[in-house]
Structure 1
Amino acid sequence: MKKIKLFCVAPYEGMKDLMQNIADRRSDVEMTIRVGDLCSGPDAAIEEVGSDIDAIISRGGTAEILRNQYSTPTIEIPISVYDVLRAIRMARNISKNFAIVGFGGVTRVAQSLCEMLQYNIPVFTIRSTSGYEEQMRILKEQGYDLVVGDTNTVKIAGEFGINGILFTSGIEAIEDAVNSAVQLCRYHAGLKSTINLLSEVISGENRRVVVFDSSGNLRYSTLQSIPDDLLQLLKKNIPRVISGDHYNSVFNLDGRNEFIQGQRLQFGQESYCLYGFRETDSIKLNSKQGIRFYNSDEIQEAETPEYYLGGNETINNIMGTVHRYCGLKLPVLIDGEPGCGMDTFAVCFYKRGTLNHCAYVVADASVMNESSWEYLLTSDNSPLCEKQLTIYMKNMECVPAEQQNALMLYLKDSLVCRRNRLIFSFATQGKDVVYQNELYRFLLETLNSLALHLPPLRQHKEDIPVLIGLAINSNNLLMGTQTIGLMPEAVQFLQEYPWENNVDQLRHTIRELVASVNSPYISLKDVQALLQTRQTGSSVGSAGGKIDMTKTLDEIIKDIIQTVFYEEDMNQSQTAKRLGISRSTLWRMMKRSGD
């Protein structure tokens, strides 16, 4: 068996001889022995203590200092009651006026013994090496001619002309310290072996994990390095995971999109946070294939539902329904005409729900292809197989007929609705029309989804002035403009305008007006000119618009940015992500072009 390597600091020569005697008799230890006090002991350790030293053995204050300076385990040679009693008896034979001085490890034993035997002997505890001289100066002034204590006590006392008696330790106490060191090192070796074995197992399975303790200290990682932004994300959610909440997210690590899951580990009284990383097929699917993952920080800029509704009684009832649905985990089925803000309401259910700290998944049936559906319904890595996700399946009216039965069967037979929060949306031109859809009826009646119908803008025209004001305010904040409002006749004109794309079209219109009109108030002429331009097809902001290739390069770039910005529901982060530029670059380009 491998010998345990011990570095021993003896406070006096006699203890060094006892240590050497023990080293000569034992075959399980290899002891390096030095004589040193509070100052010279730590200095000697600098030369000896390294990766090959298993433990340190010393006594009193020297042991305390070494324990604070090195991560190597330090075993303190105890000063027994008999050691203290022997020194006190010797001191009483020499002088009646003496005191006991030393670090806490020494003075605690002495204090207890004096109280037990009713000895009226002053006991002074030193907190640091600098405290010895001050204490000796006071004792000298008070007429003490003898002190009892550790090596440093005797040494400093001599400098002040005070005699000193040293607490000495018997060979039994030293042997006990060596046995404790061996036992501790064997135990640590077993733990290290277990950790190495588990590390090899984890590495062999190519599993990537990171473990933190409850204080946020990194305890274990199989990652070669952890980027600062990832480290901040993980540390931010440690309290949530430690408390027992489920947590998951998505992060791009070394060019790979990783799905992260948090888990609490409990060992005795200690709680740990384990993050597992897994590269999944789902995240490899890009936005054109219709499935995208978002972590909670990526969608915090979405508009609130209030920007799509208004304030009449019907709208207030809808908002009351929305607030009630947010606190539930049941599936939600949203329907309405295009441009009514279904995506915004889905995000609202996520942000105000109980799973807002976990990942948000969007599956767009209008752009999903055959492989996307195959992955979603059959892959073990499908988001439908995960836990505690919010999954938004939009444009469900576009689900191919051959996929509808497979989807309904999966939703009916699996426990996906218990594991995750599901949100569905149907874009339709009428309530009666959508109810004829078999999939819609299944989601509503068989899956028992909570229904939310968003009315078209023509059914609450009286809210248009409020919506205009909200849109102007948000655009002023975004672009730094100072538009106050629209002239009354312009507002009235917009209230009577046939908004085919509902609130989205109205908001896009207000955005272009705020960006292009320099006066504080927007006139009816400004509104009519913009809408006339849209009707001629020269603007890309409206639904179905195309880029005019006869324009200059700067104008084409502006049109592209505007088109993507609208498609991403005016979310700057997602727009920048799609265009492959930073948010600051996008903001400068929009500012320069007046977008």
Structure 2
Amino acid sequence: MKVMAIAPYNGLKELMITLGEKEEFELQVEIGDLQEGLTLAKDAVNNDIDIIISRGGTAELIQRELTIPVVEIEVSGYDMLRVLTLAKDYPGKKAIVGFSPISEGASTICEILDINMSAYKVKEEKEIEPILIQLQQEGYTNIIGDAVTVKTAERLGLNGILLTSGKESVLKSFQNAKKIYRFLSSFKKNYLISFDIVQNETEGIVVYNSTSQAIFANPYFNDNFSDNFKHNLNIQDAVKTVCNTGFFETVFNTNNTFWKIKGYPLETSHSKLIVFRINKYRSNDNQDIDGISIVSLKNEVNSTGSLTNIVTKNERMNRILKASTIYADTKEPIWISGEEGTGKERLAKLIHVNSERREHPLLIIDCEVLSKGQWACLLDRSSYDNLLAHNPNGSVVLKNIDSLELDTQKRLASYLKKGLTTCRFIALSRKSMEYLTETQRFDQELYYLLASLTLDLPSLKERKEDIESLALFFIGECNIKFGKQIVGIRNDAKEDLKNFEWIGNIKQLKQIIQESVLLAEGAFLELHDLKRVINKIRVTSESHEIDLTGTLEEIEREIIKKIWLEEGMNQTKTAERLGINRTTLWRKLK
């Protein structure tokens, strides 16, 4: 018996893999939702899969489109109770939006428990967005639902809370699958597709028609991009751009490899086709590209943790968010300052998502890691592999700009003055401009080129009213990521969080919550769960003893970590104190 399970989120995938190890049937678990799930199911039919196990709207869609038996993973009353208990303490108005089994079941539980939460039923995916827009206009900020509802909510700037399925529901689906299989004969359908193209082509080629339907792909594309191409590119917008302008160009990152995409029209006697060619990025000086990443809006929305929502009750932070929304509509460069871990990169992503550039890549360059040779390649307009040149409509985040060496600063200023790229720059600095100017560590001309608009983020110590909300938000992320069902934080644990020093700000809070959630055994995060992690950090940062019983590499890492913590997790200060360059430090801390 061969079973494919299609899970809408990673936590459910991991739970099914764990439970499936005790079953006698062969289980393959993939992540997909609605159309993605349907694509996986179609592939499963061609690979002798006997039964599909899926959830919610994805299960219904597969049942309508395919003849293969489908078993639905129910969202049980236990599952709803866990999520509703967690969500009821979230700040702001809350609503449940989903297909009838979810909306009606959750509504019933809310009535029984006297939870004030509205429920809205949908019959088709296209109904979700209009309902969410209306709820947003009515002041709702938190939306509870299945994966497609949560993704849509997060894309609109709402906080999505996913209804997760627990152990009981998964085991029940396994039992139902085995019952169905007993009544089935062998069900095999093989569809062989041959490709009329040169088999040794070392670039991906995919062809779409004018309605954005893929009609051909070569073997290299299928081997390397078939699962992630549409996650990194808005196909409809790209096809439209080629039809209107005759050309399309962008970049994306997958599996730590950078790729360039070029699109152009292909006129045939019957119709107009759009061809996309995908080539690997090759650095001119053959160096690796640690310190550069490319963020795709689709990838971020599909991952745990929305980049389109920042939780805050803080008055200063709300003013910053309001300003960032206004700034997003401009083309001006933005300078964001704040201590390490205050959320500068998250705010930069939010600005990109709220701008007209949202469908194009966000290139993040860590100035603390990139070498002079890599900078020379990036700023060379004539280079075929110039990533900035291949991202003309996107945004570029210059992370840790305060650590950029002076000669590179001057070269970057010259590049910007010449107007060699049309991408939008967002600079992130851990130091204030006053400090950089007084210490003569920063080129004033570059600052004024990058700081047409400025934002200064407060530390977590200045946002104590946000600690509980942020912790709940991170718990929700961890529940999805690790398949946990933590529903809240005990009051004494909340107080301990508020009284902690937070030298690493939000980044440190997230790390502590994540480790505490993994160690927690109950439904709530208890004080002792946090103490185990917080006390370990305090001991590590305060201890003057280094364990010398390990290997030389382990002892070195302990020393580096101790100094890193003493310097407030500031890599520049740590590298200066240790007498090593930032690239070496970054690799040793990986």
TM-score, normalised relative to structure 1: 0.49
Greater relative contact order (Cα < 8 A, sep 6+): 2
Give the structure with higher Rg (CA): 1
- The structure where helix makes up a greater share of residues is 1
